[in-house]
Every structure is written in structure tokens, then in C-alpha cells.
Amino acid sequence: MKTTKAAKSTPVKPVAKKAAKKAAQKATAASGKATGVAKKATATIKKAAAASKKAAPAKTVAKKAAPAQAAPKKAVVESHAALVRRARRINRELAEVYPYAHPELDFENPFQLVIATVLSAQTTDLRVNQTTPGLFAKYPTPEDLAAANPEEVEEILRPTGFFRAKTKSVIGLSKALAEDFGGEVPGRLEDLVKLPGVGRKTAFVVLGNAFGRPGITVDTHFGRLVRRWQWTDETDPDKVEAAVGALFPKSEWTMLSHHVIFHGRRICHARKPACGACPIAPLCPAYGEGETDPEKARKLLKYEKGGFPGQRLNPPQSYLDAGGIPAPPLGAG
């Protein structure tokens, strides 16, 4: 009986072993699959994390870029009283910067000034100052210029541009002075504007600088700056004159013109204002239209502050004392 039991039980062991082996193999395979899935999942997570890190800077850049798209500044409404205060403060500041401000046309008498002012149209005061010494040496009085040969005058005035039209104006102006005003330049606005080639701008230059009578000179520099400063938005010279004149006492008009024109020629240029070197920047609504970097702005300065000569061959002593340099004569340098 013992032998029989042993014989019956022996076949069971191999079957059990095979089953166990198969179960182990299945378990291993399952474990391997699970590990593979886990690895894939880990790799996916890592890729997602890496992608997230790469994407993060873009979000940061977007956040930083947002302020650049800020809404435009709202126009500040300024009362008339506030405008008057700001305008007068600008003039006081400019008076400290340019205490030597003066008309930049060379002249010795009212006749020379009115002729020089007419010639200054469409050219620089410097070019006029380089040209008029030859003109006045040959034709010192209105009577002399009135009787001049137009061709000879044209040749002298050629460097100023539009020399034919200017020749006609100065000869006609001289004839009017000789025939209607006894060879003298009149000291009244209504008389001056009747002269050939003389408008309100020229008349106020003559009245303010030859006769000491207040006047506002609205040239291109003056008009540009007062609009930048929002003193007025007018473009017509007569309307600019009226609008700005209402902001200041009449006694300040002539020197105001000099201060503004000096500033326009030296710092507040038409194309590239030197904002970073401007003494009235805190008062200027247009600050930032030009170069704001102080070092770069200083390189834009013109005339005496930039080491270059001014407009006049014979400037006032106060200008020379302040470091101004006389302009060179025609053909020099």
C-alpha cells in the first residue's frame, strides 16, 4: 500500500512545478509591462515638465511686454491761468539760460536792419550777415540802393537765394523810403507794412530792435516752439502772435521773441530736439519727442554751446562775454 501511495503522488509534483513556473513567468511579464508603463509614464511627465519650463519664459516675456502697450496718455486740460503761469515761467527760465539773447542780424541803423530782415527769408541769418557787408559798403543809403543797377545787386545777393525776387524787394523798398519817407525808416507798424517785402514779422523785428517798441517776431522757430509748448495750436503767424501776446505783458514781447528763437536754434531743433539737454524739460509737454539721453543730447547742441559760431559777425559784447563766438565772414574757412 505504501508503494502504491508513493506511485500515485509522484505525477502531481511536475504539474505543480510547471504551473508555478508559468505563473511566475506571467507575473514577471506583468511586472515588466507595469515597469514599462511606469517608465513611459515617467518619461511623459518629464517631457511635459520640460515643455512647461520652455514655455514659462514666453509667459514672462508676455507679462513684461504688456506695459509697452499701455493706453495713450490722456490730454491734460490746462486752465488759462495755469497756461499763463507755465508760459511765463518758461520765459524766465530761458532768460537765465540766454541772458545775452539778441537779434542775430548784423545792423548799424534801421535801414540796414529792415534790408537784412527782408533778405533773411528762406535763408539763415548767418548767410545774410556774410552778404550784407558788401551790399552796404556799395549802397549805404536808401537813395543809393534805389538807384542801383539790379544786375549788380543780384550778383551781391546771389548767396542768399531767391536773389532776383530779393533784389526787386530791396530796391523797391529803398525807393519807397526815399520817395515817401524822406529816406528814413518809419517807426510805425502801419507805415512799415506798406513797404515792398515788409510784412508784420519784419515790421516787428524793426520796431522791437531798432526803435525799442515791443513786438513779437513769429518766425519758423517761434511758431514751432510755442506749438510744442502748447501755448497755442494756431499756425497762421498773425494768430500765433495774438495768442502768445495775450499770455505776456507787452513790455516782454521783444525779449520773449529772442529767448524763444535762441532756444529753437540751439536746443529745441525742428527734426531732433535735444530734450536730454533742455533746461525747461520739466515744463515741456513735448518732452520725449527728441533725444532724452543727456550724453547723446549734448552732441546735438548748436552754436556757442556746441562750440560753433553764432549767427553774427559782430555780436553784442554780452554775447562774447558769455562765451559766444563770432561768425566767420563770407568765404572764410
Q: Which residues are known catalytic residues?
A: 201, 219
Closest CA to 264 of 295, 298, 291, 302: 302
CA 209/CA 312 separation, integer angstroms: 15
Phi and psi dihedrals of 147, rounded to 5? -95, 10
Cα 227 to Cα 23, 70, 87, 97, distances in angstroms: 95, 26, 12, 21
Expressed in percent and rounded to 5, the helix, strand and coil fractions of the chain are 65, 0, 35
Count of other CB atoms within 10 angstroms of residue 220:
11
Task: Please check whether residue 217 is in contact with residue 257, taking contact to mean a CB–CB distance below 8 angstroms.
Answer: yes
AA letter at 4: T
Residue for grid cell 534805389: 146
Dihedral angle at the C-alpha atoms of 141, 146, 148, 153, nearest 10 degrees?
80
What the block records as the C-alpha cell of 298 is 549734448
- Burial group, residue 216, by CB count within 10 angstroms (0-12, 13-18, 19+): buried
Within 8 A by CB and 6+ apart from 218, the residues are 200, 201, 237, 238, 240, 241, 244
